[in-house]
Structure 1
Protein backbone atom coordinates (compact mmCIF):
# COMPACT_ATOMS: atom_id res chain seq x y z
CA UNK A 1 0.00 0.00 0.00
CA UNK A 2 1.24 3.48 -0.85
CA UNK A 3 0.76 5.80 2.09
CA UNK A 4 -0.35 9.40 1.70
CA UNK A 5 -0.54 10.32 5.38
CA UNK A 6 0.03 8.93 8.87
CA UNK A 7 -3.55 7.72 9.15
CA UNK A 8 -2.96 5.36 6.22
CA UNK A 9 -0.17 3.72 8.23
CA UNK A 10 -2.32 3.49 11.34
CA UNK A 11 -5.27 2.05 9.45
CA UNK A 12 -3.08 -0.70 8.03
CA UNK A 13 -1.65 -1.58 11.45
CA UNK A 14 -5.11 -1.53 13.01
CA UNK A 15 -6.60 -3.83 10.36
CA UNK A 16 -3.67 -6.27 10.20
CA UNK A 17 -4.44 -9.95 10.72
CA UNK A 18 -3.47 -11.65 13.94
CA UNK A 19 -1.04 -14.55 14.11
CA UNK A 20 -1.84 -16.23 17.39
CA UNK A 21 -2.00 -13.45 19.97
CA UNK A 22 0.32 -11.09 18.12
CA UNK A 23 0.18 -8.92 15.06
CA UNK A 24 2.32 -10.09 12.14
CA UNK A 25 5.60 -8.31 11.57
CA UNK A 26 5.63 -8.80 7.80
CA UNK A 27 4.81 -5.15 7.11
CA UNK A 28 6.79 -3.68 9.98
CA UNK A 29 9.48 -2.25 7.68
CA UNK A 30 6.84 -0.53 5.57
CA UNK A 31 5.14 0.83 8.68
CA UNK A 32 8.49 2.15 9.89
CA UNK A 33 9.02 4.06 6.66
CA UNK A 34 5.50 5.43 6.94
CA UNK A 35 6.15 6.73 10.45
CA UNK A 36 9.43 8.28 9.36
CA UNK A 37 7.79 10.00 6.39
CA UNK A 38 4.50 11.20 7.85
CA UNK A 39 4.97 11.20 11.63
CA UNK A 40 5.09 14.55 13.44
CA UNK A 41 5.03 15.36 17.12
CA UNK A 42 1.48 16.65 16.86
CA UNK A 43 -0.13 13.87 14.84
CA UNK A 44 1.62 11.07 16.74
CA UNK A 45 0.55 12.48 20.11
CA UNK A 46 -2.99 12.79 18.82
CA UNK A 47 -2.92 9.20 17.57
CA UNK A 48 -1.50 7.91 20.86
CA UNK A 49 -4.33 9.56 22.76
CA UNK A 50 -7.00 8.26 20.38
CA UNK A 51 -5.93 4.62 20.35
CA UNK A 52 -5.11 4.57 24.06
CA UNK A 53 -8.65 5.70 24.89
CA UNK A 54 -10.11 2.86 22.82
CA UNK A 55 -7.73 0.40 24.49
CA UNK A 56 -8.49 1.71 27.98
CA UNK A 57 -12.26 1.66 27.45
CA UNK A 58 -12.11 -1.91 26.21
CA UNK A 59 -10.01 -3.09 29.15
CA UNK A 60 -12.50 -1.41 31.49
CA UNK A 61 -15.36 -3.18 29.68
CA UNK A 62 -16.80 0.17 28.59
CA UNK A 63 -16.36 -0.53 24.91
CA UNK A 64 -16.50 -4.30 24.69
CA UNK A 65 -17.18 -4.90 20.99
CA UNK A 66 -16.01 -7.79 18.88
CA UNK A 67 -15.15 -7.82 15.20
CA UNK A 68 -16.25 -10.45 12.73
CA UNK A 69 -12.94 -12.29 12.81
CA UNK A 70 -13.05 -12.58 16.59
CA UNK A 71 -10.46 -9.89 17.36
CA UNK A 72 -11.46 -7.37 19.97
CA UNK A 73 -11.37 -3.77 18.82
CA UNK A 74 -9.45 -2.70 21.92
CA UNK A 75 -6.77 -5.31 21.21
CA UNK A 76 -6.22 -3.82 17.77
CA UNK A 77 -6.05 -0.37 19.37
CA UNK A 78 -3.49 -1.65 21.90
CA UNK A 79 -1.20 -2.88 19.13
CA UNK A 80 -1.63 0.31 17.13
CA UNK A 81 -0.68 2.26 20.26
CA UNK A 82 2.37 0.02 20.62
CA UNK A 83 3.68 0.78 17.14
CA UNK A 84 3.03 4.51 17.48
CA UNK A 85 4.88 4.73 20.80
CA UNK A 86 7.71 2.58 19.48
CA UNK A 87 8.11 5.01 16.57
CA UNK A 88 8.39 8.14 18.73
CA UNK A 89 12.17 7.84 18.56
CA UNK A 90 12.10 8.56 14.81
CA UNK A 91 11.15 12.14 15.65
CA UNK A 92 14.45 12.61 17.51
CA UNK A 93 12.70 15.29 19.55
CA UNK A 94 12.94 14.84 23.34
CA UNK A 95 10.48 17.69 23.92
CA UNK A 96 7.76 15.08 23.42
CA UNK A 97 8.72 13.34 26.69
CA UNK A 98 6.38 15.29 29.04
CA UNK A 99 3.38 14.20 26.97
CA UNK A 100 4.29 10.52 27.33
CA UNK A 101 4.32 10.33 31.12
CA UNK A 102 0.56 9.84 31.38
CA UNK A 103 0.73 6.41 29.76
CA UNK A 104 2.83 4.71 32.45
CA UNK A 105 0.45 2.71 34.65
CA UNK A 106 0.40 3.10 38.45
CA UNK A 107 0.80 0.18 40.83
CA UNK A 108 -0.56 -0.69 44.26
CA UNK A 109 -3.84 0.63 45.63
CA UNK A 110 -4.11 3.22 42.85
CA UNK A 111 -3.49 0.80 40.00
CA UNK A 112 -5.72 0.83 36.96
CA UNK A 113 -8.45 -1.83 36.79
CA UNK A 114 -6.41 -3.54 34.09
CA UNK A 115 -2.78 -4.53 33.67
CA UNK A 116 -0.48 -3.30 30.92
CA UNK A 117 1.80 -6.16 29.93
CA UNK A 118 5.58 -5.93 30.13
CA UNK A 119 5.89 -6.01 26.36
CA UNK A 120 4.38 -2.52 26.31
CA UNK A 121 5.91 -1.04 29.46
CA UNK A 122 9.46 -2.18 28.72
CA UNK A 123 9.30 -0.69 25.23
CA UNK A 124 7.90 2.57 26.61
CA UNK A 125 10.69 2.88 29.18
CA UNK A 126 13.33 2.38 26.51
CA UNK A 127 11.75 4.87 24.11
CA UNK A 128 11.57 7.67 26.70
CA UNK A 129 15.08 7.21 28.16
CA UNK A 130 16.57 6.87 24.70
CA UNK A 131 20.14 8.15 24.53
CA UNK A 132 20.76 6.74 21.06
CA UNK A 133 17.97 8.66 19.32
CA UNK A 134 17.42 11.65 21.62
CA UNK A 135 21.03 12.07 22.69
CA UNK A 136 21.92 13.64 26.06
CA UNK A 137 19.13 16.18 25.54
CA UNK A 138 16.65 13.59 26.81
CA UNK A 139 17.88 14.09 30.40
CA UNK A 140 16.72 17.67 31.04
CA UNK A 141 13.35 16.91 29.45
CA UNK A 142 12.95 13.72 31.46
CA UNK A 143 14.14 15.28 34.72
CA UNK A 144 11.56 18.04 34.49
CA UNK A 145 8.86 15.48 33.59
CA UNK A 146 9.26 12.96 36.43
CA UNK A 147 6.57 14.65 38.51
CA UNK A 148 4.11 14.19 35.63
CA UNK A 149 4.10 10.45 36.19
CA UNK A 150 1.23 9.12 38.26
CA UNK A 151 2.40 8.92 41.92
CA UNK A 152 1.75 5.20 41.69
CA UNK A 153 4.14 4.86 38.75
CA UNK A 154 7.14 5.08 41.03
CA UNK A 155 8.58 2.02 39.29
CA UNK A 156 8.96 4.04 36.09
CA UNK A 157 10.47 7.05 37.87
CA UNK A 158 13.02 4.79 39.56
CA UNK A 159 13.99 3.25 36.24
CA UNK A 160 14.42 6.68 34.65
CA UNK A 161 16.65 7.93 37.47
CA UNK A 162 18.80 4.82 37.27
CA UNK A 163 19.07 5.14 33.49
CA UNK A 164 20.12 8.80 33.66
CA UNK A 165 22.85 7.94 36.17
CA UNK A 166 24.02 5.06 33.99
CA UNK A 167 24.05 7.14 30.80
CA UNK A 168 26.08 9.82 32.57
CA UNK A 169 28.81 7.75 34.20
CA UNK A 170 29.01 4.81 31.81
CA UNK A 171 30.07 7.13 28.98
CA UNK A 172 32.97 8.75 30.84
CA UNK A 173 36.30 8.10 29.11
CA UNK A 174 39.65 8.48 30.91
CA UNK A 175 41.17 10.61 28.14
CA UNK A 176 38.30 13.11 27.94
CA UNK A 177 36.96 15.74 30.29
CA UNK A 178 33.68 14.25 31.52
CA UNK A 179 30.27 15.73 30.82
CA UNK A 180 28.20 15.00 33.92
CA UNK A 181 24.89 15.24 32.12
CA UNK A 182 22.59 14.35 34.98
CA UNK A 183 24.11 17.05 37.19
CA UNK A 184 23.21 19.73 34.65
CA UNK A 185 19.63 18.47 34.66
CA UNK A 186 19.21 18.31 38.45
CA UNK A 187 17.85 21.87 38.92
CA UNK A 188 15.05 21.11 36.45
CA UNK A 189 13.55 18.31 38.52
CA UNK A 190 11.12 18.63 41.38
CA UNK A 191 13.56 18.70 44.29
CA UNK A 192 11.82 16.49 46.84
CA UNK A 193 10.92 13.87 44.25
CA UNK A 194 14.42 13.75 42.78
CA UNK A 195 15.98 13.45 46.25
CA UNK A 196 13.62 10.63 47.16
CA UNK A 197 14.43 8.74 43.97
CA UNK A 198 18.17 9.14 44.55
CA UNK A 199 17.87 7.89 48.12
CA UNK A 200 16.01 4.82 46.88
CA UNK A 201 18.71 4.28 44.27
CA UNK A 202 21.37 4.43 46.99
CA UNK A 203 19.46 1.96 49.15
CA UNK A 204 19.11 -0.39 46.19
CA UNK A 205 22.85 -0.43 45.57
CA UNK A 206 23.66 -0.75 49.27
CA UNK A 207 21.57 -3.91 49.33
CA UNK A 208 23.18 -5.15 46.10
CA UNK A 209 26.63 -4.56 47.59
CA UNK A 210 25.69 -6.44 50.73
CA UNK A 211 24.54 -9.43 48.67
CA UNK A 212 27.67 -9.31 46.52
CA UNK A 213 29.95 -9.27 49.57
CA UNK A 214 28.06 -12.17 51.12
CA UNK A 215 28.51 -14.15 47.93
CA UNK A 216 32.23 -13.38 47.91
CA UNK A 217 32.59 -14.51 51.53
CA UNK A 218 31.17 -17.92 50.69
CA UNK A 219 34.53 -18.88 49.15
CA UNK A 220 33.64 -19.52 45.50
CA UNK A 221 34.59 -23.00 44.34
CA UNK A 222 36.48 -21.93 41.23
CA UNK A 223 38.66 -19.10 40.00
CA UNK A 224 35.92 -18.10 37.57
CA UNK A 225 33.34 -17.83 40.35
CA UNK A 226 35.81 -15.86 42.48
CA UNK A 227 36.36 -13.39 39.64
CA UNK A 228 32.62 -13.03 39.07
CA UNK A 229 32.03 -12.41 42.78
CA UNK A 230 34.76 -9.76 42.94
CA UNK A 231 33.41 -8.06 39.82
CA UNK A 232 29.94 -7.97 41.35
CA UNK A 233 31.32 -6.26 44.46
CA UNK A 234 33.28 -3.73 42.40
CA UNK A 235 30.30 -3.00 40.17
CA UNK A 236 27.98 -2.44 43.13
CA UNK A 237 30.55 -0.14 44.77
CA UNK A 238 30.86 1.95 41.61
CA UNK A 239 27.11 2.24 41.12
CA UNK A 240 26.61 3.15 44.78
CA UNK A 241 29.32 5.82 44.56
CA UNK A 242 27.69 7.34 41.46
CA UNK A 243 24.26 7.53 43.09
CA UNK A 244 25.73 9.03 46.28
CA UNK A 245 27.66 11.60 44.26
CA UNK A 246 24.56 12.73 42.38
CA UNK A 247 22.62 13.03 45.64
CA UNK A 248 25.48 15.04 47.15
CA UNK A 249 25.46 17.43 44.21
CA UNK A 250 21.71 17.89 44.52
CA UNK A 251 22.07 18.78 48.20
CA UNK A 252 24.75 21.34 47.32
CA UNK A 253 22.48 23.24 44.96
CA UNK A 254 21.45 26.68 46.21
CA UNK A 255 17.83 26.77 47.27
CA UNK A 256 17.21 29.42 44.62
CA UNK A 257 17.84 27.00 41.75
CA UNK A 258 16.25 23.81 43.11
CA UNK A 259 13.13 22.94 41.11
CA UNK A 260 13.74 25.90 38.81
CA UNK A 261 12.05 23.95 36.04
CA UNK A 262 8.74 24.14 37.91
CA UNK A 263 8.39 27.88 38.38
Structure 2
Protein backbone atom coordinates (compact mmCIF):
# COMPACT_ATOMS: atom_id res chain seq x y z
CA UNK A 1 0.00 0.00 0.00
CA UNK A 2 1.22 3.48 -0.82
CA UNK A 3 0.72 5.76 2.16
CA UNK A 4 -0.43 9.35 1.80
CA UNK A 5 -0.60 10.25 5.50
CA UNK A 6 -0.01 8.85 8.97
CA UNK A 7 -3.57 7.59 9.26
CA UNK A 8 -2.97 5.26 6.31
CA UNK A 9 -0.15 3.64 8.28
CA UNK A 10 -2.26 3.36 11.42
CA UNK A 11 -5.21 1.89 9.54
CA UNK A 12 -3.02 -0.78 7.98
CA UNK A 13 -1.53 -1.78 11.34
CA UNK A 14 -4.93 -1.80 13.01
CA UNK A 15 -6.52 -3.93 10.30
CA UNK A 16 -3.57 -6.30 9.86
CA UNK A 17 -4.20 -10.03 9.73
CA UNK A 18 -3.56 -11.68 13.09
CA UNK A 19 -2.39 -15.20 13.89
CA UNK A 20 -1.68 -17.22 17.01
CA UNK A 21 -1.97 -15.19 20.20
CA UNK A 22 -3.24 -12.17 18.33
CA UNK A 23 0.16 -11.41 16.85
CA UNK A 24 -0.03 -9.25 13.74
CA UNK A 25 1.30 -10.57 10.47
CA UNK A 26 3.57 -7.61 10.24
CA UNK A 27 4.85 -5.51 7.41
CA UNK A 28 7.12 -3.73 9.86
CA UNK A 29 9.71 -2.17 7.50
CA UNK A 30 6.95 -0.48 5.51
CA UNK A 31 5.16 0.66 8.67
CA UNK A 32 8.30 2.18 10.16
CA UNK A 33 9.07 3.92 6.89
CA UNK A 34 5.56 5.35 6.95
CA UNK A 35 6.04 6.64 10.48
CA UNK A 36 9.36 8.17 9.48
CA UNK A 37 7.78 9.91 6.49
CA UNK A 38 4.49 11.13 7.94
CA UNK A 39 5.01 11.15 11.70
CA UNK A 40 5.23 14.41 13.63
CA UNK A 41 5.36 15.04 17.33
CA UNK A 42 1.77 16.24 17.34
CA UNK A 43 0.14 13.51 15.27
CA UNK A 44 2.11 10.70 16.91
CA UNK A 45 1.11 11.86 20.40
CA UNK A 46 -2.50 12.20 19.31
CA UNK A 47 -2.48 8.68 17.87
CA UNK A 48 -0.85 7.27 21.01
CA UNK A 49 -3.55 8.77 23.20
CA UNK A 50 -6.35 7.57 20.93
CA UNK A 51 -5.28 3.95 20.68
CA UNK A 52 -4.21 3.74 24.32
CA UNK A 53 -7.67 4.89 25.38
CA UNK A 54 -9.30 2.10 23.35
CA UNK A 55 -6.82 -0.43 24.77
CA UNK A 56 -7.31 0.77 28.35
CA UNK A 57 -11.09 0.73 28.15
CA UNK A 58 -11.07 -2.74 26.65
CA UNK A 59 -8.78 -4.10 29.36
CA UNK A 60 -11.04 -2.57 32.01
CA UNK A 61 -14.09 -4.17 30.41
CA UNK A 62 -15.71 -0.81 29.72
CA UNK A 63 -15.84 -0.99 25.94
CA UNK A 64 -14.18 -2.30 22.78
CA UNK A 65 -14.20 -5.98 23.76
CA UNK A 66 -16.05 -7.06 20.65
CA UNK A 67 -14.20 -8.96 17.96
CA UNK A 68 -13.20 -7.65 14.59
CA UNK A 69 -11.96 -10.20 12.05
CA UNK A 70 -11.11 -12.72 14.75
CA UNK A 71 -9.33 -10.29 17.09
CA UNK A 72 -10.62 -8.12 19.91
CA UNK A 73 -10.80 -4.43 19.03
CA UNK A 74 -8.83 -3.41 22.12
CA UNK A 75 -6.07 -5.89 21.24
CA UNK A 76 -5.78 -4.38 17.79
CA UNK A 77 -5.50 -0.99 19.49
CA UNK A 78 -2.78 -2.36 21.81
CA UNK A 79 -0.65 -3.47 18.87
CA UNK A 80 -1.22 -0.19 17.05
CA UNK A 81 -0.09 1.63 20.20
CA UNK A 82 2.98 -0.65 20.27
CA UNK A 83 4.11 0.31 16.78
CA UNK A 84 3.42 4.01 17.28
CA UNK A 85 5.43 4.12 20.50
CA UNK A 86 8.21 2.03 18.99
CA UNK A 87 8.52 4.59 16.18
CA UNK A 88 8.68 7.68 18.41
CA UNK A 89 12.48 7.79 18.43
CA UNK A 90 12.47 8.07 14.62
CA UNK A 91 11.41 11.68 15.17
CA UNK A 92 14.79 12.31 16.83
CA UNK A 93 13.07 14.88 19.04
CA UNK A 94 13.69 14.22 22.76
CA UNK A 95 11.26 16.98 23.73
CA UNK A 96 8.53 14.37 23.26
CA UNK A 97 9.77 12.41 26.29
CA UNK A 98 7.67 14.22 28.95
CA UNK A 99 4.50 13.24 27.10
CA UNK A 100 5.44 9.56 27.21
CA UNK A 101 5.77 9.21 30.98
CA UNK A 102 2.03 8.78 31.53
CA UNK A 103 2.05 5.42 29.76
CA UNK A 104 4.36 3.63 32.20
CA UNK A 105 2.12 1.56 34.48
CA UNK A 106 2.36 1.81 38.28
CA UNK A 107 2.96 -1.19 40.50
CA UNK A 108 1.81 -2.20 43.97
CA UNK A 109 -1.39 -0.97 45.60
CA UNK A 110 -1.84 1.73 42.95
CA UNK A 111 -1.42 -0.56 39.96
CA UNK A 112 -3.88 -0.44 37.10
CA UNK A 113 -6.63 -3.09 37.06
CA UNK A 114 -4.84 -4.70 34.11
CA UNK A 115 -1.25 -5.68 33.42
CA UNK A 116 0.86 -4.34 30.59
CA UNK A 117 3.04 -7.17 29.32
CA UNK A 118 6.84 -6.98 29.31
CA UNK A 119 6.89 -6.88 25.52
CA UNK A 120 5.35 -3.42 25.71
CA UNK A 121 7.14 -2.03 28.78
CA UNK A 122 10.60 -3.17 27.65
CA UNK A 123 10.06 -1.57 24.26
CA UNK A 124 8.88 1.67 25.89
CA UNK A 125 11.93 1.87 28.15
CA UNK A 126 14.19 1.35 25.15
CA UNK A 127 12.47 4.05 23.13
CA UNK A 128 12.77 6.71 25.83
CA UNK A 129 16.50 6.01 26.20
CA UNK A 130 17.10 5.55 22.47
CA UNK A 131 20.38 6.67 20.94
CA UNK A 132 18.29 8.31 18.21
CA UNK A 133 17.61 11.10 20.69
CA UNK A 134 21.32 11.65 21.34
CA UNK A 135 22.78 12.40 24.79
CA UNK A 136 20.30 15.25 25.28
CA UNK A 137 17.69 12.59 26.07
CA UNK A 138 19.09 12.80 29.61
CA UNK A 139 18.07 16.44 29.94
CA UNK A 140 14.50 15.56 29.04
CA UNK A 141 14.31 12.45 31.21
CA UNK A 142 15.74 14.31 34.19
CA UNK A 143 13.13 17.04 33.92
CA UNK A 144 10.38 14.44 33.38
CA UNK A 145 11.00 11.88 36.13
CA UNK A 146 8.42 13.52 38.39
CA UNK A 147 5.80 13.07 35.65
CA UNK A 148 5.89 9.31 36.10
CA UNK A 149 3.19 7.86 38.33
CA UNK A 150 4.69 7.47 41.84
CA UNK A 151 4.00 3.76 41.50
CA UNK A 152 6.12 3.57 38.35
CA UNK A 153 9.37 3.93 40.25
CA UNK A 154 10.59 0.81 38.46
CA UNK A 155 10.73 2.88 35.28
CA UNK A 156 12.43 5.81 37.02
CA UNK A 157 15.07 3.43 38.38
CA UNK A 158 15.70 2.04 34.92
CA UNK A 159 16.10 5.53 33.50
CA UNK A 160 18.61 6.47 36.21
CA UNK A 161 20.63 3.32 35.58
CA UNK A 162 20.55 3.94 31.83
CA UNK A 163 21.69 7.56 32.17
CA UNK A 164 24.61 6.60 34.40
CA UNK A 165 25.63 3.76 32.11
CA UNK A 166 25.36 5.82 28.93
CA UNK A 167 27.47 8.55 30.52
CA UNK A 168 30.35 6.48 31.85
CA UNK A 169 30.75 3.54 29.50
CA UNK A 170 31.89 5.86 26.70
CA UNK A 171 34.72 7.43 28.71
CA UNK A 172 38.21 6.81 27.30
CA UNK A 173 41.45 7.39 29.23
CA UNK A 174 42.95 9.65 26.56
CA UNK A 175 39.94 11.96 26.18
CA UNK A 176 38.43 14.62 28.39
CA UNK A 177 35.04 13.12 29.25
CA UNK A 178 31.63 14.57 28.62
CA UNK A 179 29.26 13.87 31.50
CA UNK A 180 25.71 14.46 30.24
CA UNK A 181 24.02 13.07 33.33
CA UNK A 182 25.94 15.54 35.50
CA UNK A 183 25.01 18.38 33.16
CA UNK A 184 21.35 17.34 33.43
CA UNK A 185 21.22 17.21 37.24
CA UNK A 186 19.93 20.79 37.74
CA UNK A 187 16.90 19.94 35.59
CA UNK A 188 15.45 17.28 37.89
CA UNK A 189 13.41 17.43 41.06
CA UNK A 190 16.21 17.13 43.58
CA UNK A 191 14.59 14.95 46.23
CA UNK A 192 13.39 12.45 43.63
CA UNK A 193 16.72 12.34 41.80
CA UNK A 194 18.60 11.95 45.09
CA UNK A 195 16.38 9.08 46.24
CA UNK A 196 16.87 7.29 42.91
CA UNK A 197 20.63 7.70 43.20
CA UNK A 198 20.53 6.39 46.77
CA UNK A 199 18.67 3.31 45.54
CA UNK A 200 21.21 2.85 42.75
CA UNK A 201 24.07 3.07 45.24
CA UNK A 202 22.42 0.61 47.63
CA UNK A 203 21.88 -1.83 44.79
CA UNK A 204 25.53 -1.72 43.75
CA UNK A 205 26.70 -2.02 47.36
CA UNK A 206 24.68 -5.21 47.67
CA UNK A 207 25.99 -6.46 44.33
CA UNK A 208 29.56 -5.78 45.46
CA UNK A 209 29.07 -7.72 48.70
CA UNK A 210 27.65 -10.67 46.77
CA UNK A 211 30.55 -10.58 44.33
CA UNK A 212 33.11 -10.44 47.15
CA UNK A 213 31.42 -13.35 48.92
CA UNK A 214 31.53 -15.40 45.76
CA UNK A 215 35.21 -14.58 45.26
CA UNK A 216 35.98 -15.68 48.83
CA UNK A 217 34.54 -19.12 48.15
CA UNK A 218 37.71 -19.98 46.22
CA UNK A 219 36.44 -20.66 42.69
CA UNK A 220 37.33 -24.13 41.41
CA UNK A 221 38.95 -23.01 38.18
CA UNK A 222 41.00 -20.15 36.80
CA UNK A 223 38.06 -19.19 34.61
CA UNK A 224 35.72 -18.95 37.60
CA UNK A 225 38.34 -16.96 39.52
CA UNK A 226 38.61 -14.49 36.65
CA UNK A 227 34.83 -14.17 36.40
CA UNK A 228 34.55 -13.56 40.15
CA UNK A 229 37.25 -10.88 40.08
CA UNK A 230 35.60 -9.21 37.09
CA UNK A 231 32.29 -9.16 38.94
CA UNK A 232 33.92 -7.43 41.91
CA UNK A 233 35.66 -4.88 39.69
CA UNK A 234 32.48 -4.19 37.73
CA UNK A 235 30.43 -3.63 40.88
CA UNK A 236 33.12 -1.31 42.28
CA UNK A 237 33.14 0.76 39.09
CA UNK A 238 29.35 1.00 38.92
CA UNK A 239 29.17 1.95 42.59
CA UNK A 240 31.81 4.65 42.10
CA UNK A 241 29.90 6.11 39.15
CA UNK A 242 26.63 6.30 41.08
CA UNK A 243 28.37 7.83 44.10
CA UNK A 244 30.07 10.40 41.89
CA UNK A 245 26.76 11.49 40.36
CA UNK A 246 25.20 11.77 43.82
CA UNK A 247 28.16 13.86 44.96
CA UNK A 248 27.76 16.20 42.02
CA UNK A 249 24.06 16.60 42.80
CA UNK A 250 24.82 17.53 46.40
CA UNK A 251 27.37 20.12 45.24
CA UNK A 252 24.82 22.07 43.20
CA UNK A 253 24.25 25.64 44.41
CA UNK A 254 20.79 26.16 45.84
CA UNK A 255 20.04 28.67 43.09
CA UNK A 256 20.18 26.03 40.34
CA UNK A 257 18.69 23.03 42.16
CA UNK A 258 15.60 21.74 40.35
CA UNK A 259 15.73 24.63 37.88
CA UNK A 260 14.21 22.52 35.12
CA UNK A 261 11.55 21.13 37.43
CA UNK A 262 10.52 24.62 38.51
Return the TM-score normalized by structure 2: 0.98
1:177 counterpart SS class: coil
Give the RMSD, CA atoms, in angstroms.
0.9
1:22-64 per-position Cα deviation (integer Å, ceiling 9, x unaligned):
4345411110110011000000000000000000000000014
1:165 counterpart SS class: helix
1:82-105 per-position Cα deviation (integer Å, ceiling 9, x unaligned):
000000011000000000000000
CA distance in 1, matches of 2:30, 2:169: 35
CA distance in 1, matches of 2:145, 2:22: 32
User: Match for residue 188 of structure 2?
Assistant: 189
CA distance in 1, matches of 2:181, 2:71: 45
User: Match for residue 75 of structure 1?
Assistant: 75
1:143-169 per-position Cα deviation (integer Å, ceiling 9, x unaligned):
000000000000000000000000000
Pair 1:222 & 2:212 matched: no
CA distance in 1, matches of 2:41, 2:26: 26
**Unmatched 5+ residue regions in structure 1?**
none
1:151-190 per-position Cα deviation (integer Å, ceiling 9, x unaligned):
0000000000000000000011111110011000000000
2:260 counterpart SS class: helix
2:256 counterpart SS class: coil
2:212 counterpart SS class: helix
Deviation at 1:70, TM superposition (A): 2.8
After superposition, where does 1:174-213 map in structure 2 within 5 Å?
174-213=173-212
Task: Tell me how many residue pairs correspond in the alignment.
Answer: 262
Contact 1:16 1:23 in 2 (8 A): no
CA distance in 2, matches of 1:24, 1:114: 21
Deviation at 1:199, TM superposition (A): 0.1
User: Match for residue 36 of structure 1?
Assistant: 36
User: Match for residue 166 of structure 2?
Assistant: 167
2:172 counterpart SS class: coil
Q: Which moved more, 1:14-23 or 1:242-251?
A: 14-23
CA distance in 1, matches of 2:236, 2:138: 24
CA distance in 1, matches of 2:68, 2:125: 34
Return the TM-score normalized by structure 1: 0.98
Deviation at 1:256, TM superposition (A): 1.1
**Unmatched 5+ residue regions in structure 2?**
none
1:199-232 per-position Cα deviation (integer Å, ceiling 9, x unaligned):
0000000000011011101111110000000000
CA distance in 1, matches of 2:64, 2:124: 25
Contact 2:19 2:25 in 1 (8 A): no
User: Match for residue 136 of structure 2?
Assistant: 137
CA distance in 2, matches of 1:32, 1:68: 24
1:95-150 per-position Cα deviation (integer Å, ceiling 9, x unaligned):
000000000000000000000000000000000011x2011110101100000000
CA distance in 1, matches of 2:242, 2:163: 10
1:226 counterpart SS class: helix
CA distance in 1, matches of 2:25, 2:138: 32
CA distance in 1, matches of 2:235, 2:157: 17
